Amino acid sequence: MVSAWGDRYARGFSEMAGVYVDLTRQATQLLDVAALDAGESVLDVGCGPGTATLVVADRVGPEGRVIGVDLAPGMLARASAATSGTATILAVMDARQLAFGDGTFDVVTANSVLQFTGRESLGEWPRVTRPGGRVACSIPYGPAMWFELCRRYVHRTSEPYRSTMQARLDTAVGPPDAEQARALWGFGAVGAVVERLVRRYDSADEAWESEYQHGARVFLEELPADALERFRAEYVEALLPEGDGGGVAIPFEFHYWCFTR
Ligand SMILES: C[S@@+](CC[C@H](N)C(=O)[O-])C[C@H]1O[C@@H](n2cnc3c(N)ncnc32)[C@H](O)[C@@H]1O
């Protein structure tokens, strides 16, 4: 059974599937860190529109096995189109409660999913990975102003979203730390890469619109109209101006981890 929190994400991600931001670059980087071999069996959790799933299918080749799971049927419809030329299997499933036995896969991949699934998922992902297999995940972090705004406005969202989001924000106190996660979750070894990136937009309006093309949209849609208006004004105020033409910049990070079980 999917929780109310999961249900909210399933709806939100299904609705934005058609305009979803392209994560090909991050998927490629993650799978480099995961060092996939031809013939491996891989579970791609939170597969979304199939961006990483397709790269996985390409890397493991016809001898490999690829399964993609996601909560959002709208995302899976896109993943189905993206992977149609491959033997990939897709299913609706909660990444925190996987319907697979212990040690089923050589590798679990999760490109930009951990920020939504949280700690519970890191019990599940190693469980379905065979001993000696890998769990490879990426997680975005920043900009700092986004977290500050979310912390200040989360009380204006409604239950059951509010409590879970509040708990997520309470743990997002600094950049993700691979070594800390390794120790906390009991993995054997970890490889980690951090990318420092900047999103650039021609205007503040364009930057704001971009927030509706990824998971941030779910938070924004939980805010009542008056709070959303104030949130937007503070967000625009916090953007870094770039050049003289009204352009803005948003610095953020992407962390890539590969844990060995
Ligand atoms: C930022 S997108 C990443 C999509 C994809 N991995 C990619 O590389 O483009 C996050 C995805 O995680 C999914 N998701 C969020 N919570 C989930 C959960 N509990 N179980 C399964 N999927 C989840 C969303 O539906 C969404 O498709």
The per-residue pLDDT for range 3-54, each reduced to its tens digit, is 777 788 888 888 888 888 888 999 999 999 999 999 999 999 999 999 999 9
Contact (Cβ atoms closer than 8 angstroms) between residue 239 and residue 245: no
Section 83-104 average pLDDT: 96
Asked whether the predicted pLDDT for residue 151 surpasses 70, the reply is: yes
**75 Cβ inside 6 Å of ligand 1:** yes
Cis before residue 62, ω within 30 degrees of 0? no
Query: Among 19-23, 203-207, 255-259, which stretch is predicted with the lowest mean pLDDT?
Result: 19-23
Model-wide pTM > 0.85: yes
Which is nearest to 146 in space by CA: 82, 43, 38, 220? 220
Compute, in angstroms, the gap from residue 46 CA to the centroid of ligand 1: 3
Higher local confidence (pLDDT), 190 or 103: 103
pLDDT band at 149 (very low <50, low <70, confident <90, very high): very high
Mean pLDDT of 142-156: 94
Closest ligand 1 atom, CA of 121? Answer: 19
pLDDT band at 1 (very low <50, low <70, confident <90, very high): low
Asked if pLDDT for residue 221 goes beyond 80, the answer is yes
Sign of CA dihedral 105, 94, 34, 55: positive
- Do the beta carbons of residue 31 and residue 55 sit within 8 Å? yes
Please tell me if the CB atom of residue 70 comes closer than 6 angstroms to any atom of ligand 1.
yes
- Mutation choice for ligand 1 from 33, 58, 113, 256, CB with most ligand atoms inside 8 A: 113
Q: What distance in angstroms lies between residue 50's CA and the mean position of ligand 1's atoms?
A: 10
Q: What is the distance between the alpha carbons of residues 118 and 185, in angstroms, rounded to a whole number?
A: 12
In this structure, what DSSP letter does residue 69 have?
E
> Ramachandran region of residue 48, left (φ > 0), alpha (ψ -120 to 50) or beta?
left
**Which tokens go with 185?**
């979750």
Q: Specify the pLDDT at position 186.
A: 82
At residue 9, the pLDDT reads: 81
Is residue 108 in contact with ligand 1, taking CB distance under 6 Å? no
Atom from ligand 1 closest to the CA of residue 214: 1
Q: What is the CATH number of the domain that holds 168?
A: 3.40.50.150
Gap between the terminal Cα atoms of the chain: 28
Mean pLDDT calculated for residue range 247-257: 94
CB 111 near ligand 1, within 6 Å? yes
Number of domains observed in the structure of the chain: 1
CB of 46 within 6 A of ligand 1: the answer is: yes
Cα-based distances in Å from 174 to 102, 118, 143, 148, 250: 32, 15, 11, 11, 17
Rounded Cα distance, 239 and 261, in Å: 40
Domain that holds residue 230: 4-260
20 CB under 6 A from ligand 1? no
Cα–Cα distance for residue pair 34/193, rounded to 1 Å: 11
Mean pLDDT over all residues of the chain? 92
Q: What is the structure's pLDDT at 180?
A: 87
